[in-house]
Amino acid sequence: MNEAQNCHSERSEESASQRCAEKKQIPRATAPLGMTPFGLFPGLAQFPLIFFQSLLLFLCVLCAPASVSSVLSFSLPSPPQSEKPEWCRPLPRPEYKSLQAIPVSDPWFEVYKVAPGVFAIYEPHQADETISYLIVGNKQALLFDTGMGIGNIRKIASQLTARFVVVLNSHTHNDHVGGNWQFNFVYGMDTSFTRTNAKGSREDAQAEIAPDQLCGDLPKAFNPKTYATKPWKISRFIHEGFKINLGGRTLEVLSTPGHTPDAISLLDRANGLLFTGDTYYPAPIWLYRPETNLDAYVNSVKRLAALAPQLKLVLGAHNIPVAQPDVLPRLADAIQAVRAGQGTVKPGGEGKALHTFGGFSFLLAAARKE
């Protein structure tokens, strides 16, 4: 690199001038003869030394302003961006264009008003694309799931309503209970699965922030090294048929086990809204984990399908928040067809098989080879 290049590499006029001045002051005798202009080109010795000193000073004066313009006009090339995971390339999903976006302060979340007094709180930067719902009544509000625990969902809820917020989970997998610890009142289904998960965990949470699970930046205050599902206190255990009065709005708990033993759906009968948790969402439905009961899942889906004529909207917990009620009887037909051996099957990862029928997909445990 020559002297001019060295000067251009500096990031301010002061540093460029200082660097060039320091080079001027190095005594000629400190460099080996072969590395001086006189050693390389003996004929140059006939020129006075002051000529070379003046020339060097002139070049440095020229390059110092150039270094300033380079700072003002150009930026250093950014390191190459890591390639986006396959799952996040189609984002944002076009279905969100038809929904009313609600501005919030934390970019980890997107919020959409999906019905009067109902807000979908969406986490688009993590592969689960979890959706929690804030349902607001005249006296209090209910947060149906609290998401990943990566962003501050309590802060989001407080921006959407000034009413007291209680929490109820669609089930207690880690991607739905991450913010439970932030709230003073949390309902819980009276199951051993719920009690165990309320103790918190680390392993599942850490898997959620692997590089291929993220799309975009994590929140500034987030510490990936300490990330875990924090334990929470269950304020009151509830059962099938329990009703929660929010003031002018009543929510009814429907026990819909299958995906997990404590899975529920939440029915707002007066407004025709059904919140399904992970019993239905528009993507491959996970039914392969040890806690899954496939027979129970089929019965739960059939129960929800019978409600379709009473409903206006079905609201699932991943990817897209709203679906039409006719999705439920079609879902029931699809899972029963899969149980009967119909549809297509392909590998779904280690120990899993992806079954597809009628536009629905189910990720089941792979059949054991004899």
Q: Are residues 158 and 23 in the same domain?
A: no
Domain count, the chain: 2
Q: Is residue 186 part of a domain?
A: yes
187 and 56 fall within a common domain: no
pLDDT of residue 20: 34
Q: Could you tell me the residue range of the domain that residue 192 belongs to?
A: 99-342
Q: pTM for the complete prediction?
A: 0.78
pLDDT, mean of each 10-residue run, the chain (370 residues) = 34 31 31 39 48 51 43 36 80 96 97 99 98 99 99 98 99 98 99 98 94 94 96 98 99 99 99 99 97 98 99 99 98 98 95 97 86
Question: How does 217-239 read in b/e, with b if 16+ C-beta sit within 10 Å?
Answer: ebeeeeeeeebebbebebeeebe
Q: Are residues 122 and 61 in the same domain?
A: no
Query: Do residues 135 and 142 touch, judged by C-beta distance below 8 A?
Result: yes
Dihedral (CA of 161, 141, 280, 309) sign: negative
Residue 346: CB atoms within 10 Å = 8
Structure tokens at 229: 């599902």
Q: Are residues 181 and 301 in the same domain?
A: yes
Q: Are residues 62 and 110 in the same domain?
A: no
Q: Give me the residue label for tokens 């006075």.
A: 48
Beta bridge mates, 344: 356
Express the helix, strand and coil content of the chain in percent, nearest 5 each.
35, 25, 40
What's residue 368's pLDDT? 74
What pLDDT does 318 receive? 98
- Do 15 and 112 sit in the same domain of this protein? no
Same domain flag for 204 and 333: yes
CA distance 194 to 279: 17
* Whether 188 and 336 share a structural domain: yes
Q: Which residues contact 206 (CB under 8 A, 6 or more apart)?
A: 227, 228
**Residue 251 domain flag:** yes
Domain containing 182 — which CATH number?
Answer: 3.60.15.10
pLDDT at 79: 35
The pLDDT of residue 57 is 52
